[in-house]
Structure 1
Amino acid sequence: MNLLKTFKHKIKNKLINFFFEALKQEVQNIFLTEPMIVGPKERLHISENVKKNNFLVNTNSGEVYVNDYVFFGKNVCLITGTHDFTKFEDERRKTSPKEGRDIVIEKGVWIATNATIIGPCIIGKNAVVAAGSVVTKNVEPFTVVGGVPAKIIKRIQQKEDE
């Protein structure tokens, strides 16, 4: 009888550990693959073929479009929202445009870890935004940009069919 009790206890502990690990993995997947959205959710438009890591999207002042084959490093920020720096105190905090600061990320773009994209801007097809960069204007297709503010580092050789 003692052996049966021990066996039941071991199985119970293994099942608890199995379900705990599965739940932990699922929670991590949600936090590491779903964007945190500040502002209207319907202003975020993400294609199906996007590799999403944890990223923050502010849609308070515009739409955000993320096209096919885009992939993000960790902790990327896409920011449409801004405030009027000519205002002061509570007025500055409460004053922001409601539209006109859209971000468009075209097909095949790689935005590396800790990069920040500040709208309005378009990140061109197959461009690369280096880790830690701050993009404040349009990025040409097939270019690598980096720095604060981001500047062109190099051009990417295009395939014949591009």
Structure 2
Amino acid sequence: MSLSNLKQKINQNPRLKKIIHRMMFDNARPRWWVKHIINPLFFRHGKGAIIRHQTIMNVSPINKFYLGVNSTIEEYSVLDNGVGEIIIGSHTRIGLRSTIIGPVQIGNHVILAQNVVLSGLNHNYEDISLPIHLQGVNVAPIIIEDNAWIAANSIITAGVTIGKHAIVAGGSVVTKNVPPHTIVAGNPAKIIKEYESESQKWIRI
């Protein structure tokens, strides 16, 4: 059986998928055997892609993971595709100690600085008769389009799209979509500048 057929079989069998998910992700800790044995069998990366040695790769073949050409994931970053795929384009840099929890799609020539958090996952909390950790999760994909720059210590929440060549200022918490060619800052993040094509300048709002 080919690897692609095996992956398809796993995804089509909810019971088998749950067992494998528990084996790989139970207690929220990465497994050495997943990183060094399973992942090399299933995942192929673009030419020149680099994943630094101390990166925590909490990824499994249940959901897709891909790192594009000449892209880098720096030391002490955490990647988790347990509930959604992670796709990273080419010539993109994931900075030190960043956290990416799928579903997340990152374009080409994107910069994530240090300590950036992208989480496409939220915990359900509506039933007050149950502990939150027993209520499951919901997901909404995060999309970071080409040429964007997410500055240090920023948080991008589930369901948000960051437009092409947009900039998120350091320490921002982004809860709504960011249009292309704008700069946002704050908590919650708001537009502070936008690029004016006529003058070819960034104009403060």
Give secondary structure in 1 for the equivalent of 2:94.
coil
Q: Which has the larger radius of gyration?
A: 1
- Range moving further from structure 2, 43-52 or 106-115: 43-52
Per-residue CA deviation, residues 98-139 of structure 1 (Å, 9 max, x unaligned), is: 44x100000000000000000101100000000000001100
Shift of 1:46: 0.3
Q: State the AA in 1 paired with 2:121.
A: G
Matched, 1:57 2:96: no
Q: Are residues 1:147 and 2:186 paired?
A: yes
Task: Give, as a single letter, the amino acid of the residue that structure 2 aligns with 1:107.
Answer: D
Mapped partners of 2:133, 2:168: distance in 1? 30
The one-letter code matched in structure 2 to 1:95 is Q
SS of the residue 2:93 aligns to = coil
Q: Is the 8 A contact 2:143 2:162 kept in 1?
A: yes
2:9 aligned residue: none
> Which aligned pairs between 1:1-162 and structure 2 lie closer than 5 A?
30-31=54-55, 33=74, 35-40=77-82, 43-54=85-96, 55-59=98-102, 63-88=103-128, 90-99=130-139, 101-158=140-197
Q: Segments of 4+ in structure 1 off by > 6 A?
A: none
* Larger RCO of the pair (alpha carbons < 8 Å, separation 6+): 1
Structure 2: give runs of 5+ residues left out of the alignment. 1-50, 56-72, 201-205
Paired letter, 1:139: V
- Secondary structure of the structure 2 residue equivalent to 1:93: helix
Whether contact under 8 Å (2:84, 2:101) holds in the other structure is no
Instruction: Name the structure where helix makes up a greater proportion of residues.
Output: 1
Q: How many residues align?
A: 130
TM-score (norm 2): 0.56
* CA deviation after TM superposition for structure 1 residue 41, in Å: 8.0
Does the 8 A contact of 2:124 with 2:135 survive in 1? yes
Shift of 1:97: 3.5
Looking at structure 1, the residues matched to 84 and 175 of structure 2 have their Cα atoms a distance apart, in angstroms, of: 23
Q: Which has the larger displacement, 89-98 or 107-116?
A: 89-98
In the alignment, is the contact (CA less than 8 A) between 1:119 and 1:137 conserved in 2? no
Change (3 A) 1:158 1:43: farther
Question: What do you get for the CA RMSD once the two structures are aligned?
Answer: 2.5
Unpaired segments of 5 or more residues in structure 1? 1-26
- Structure having the higher strand fraction is 2
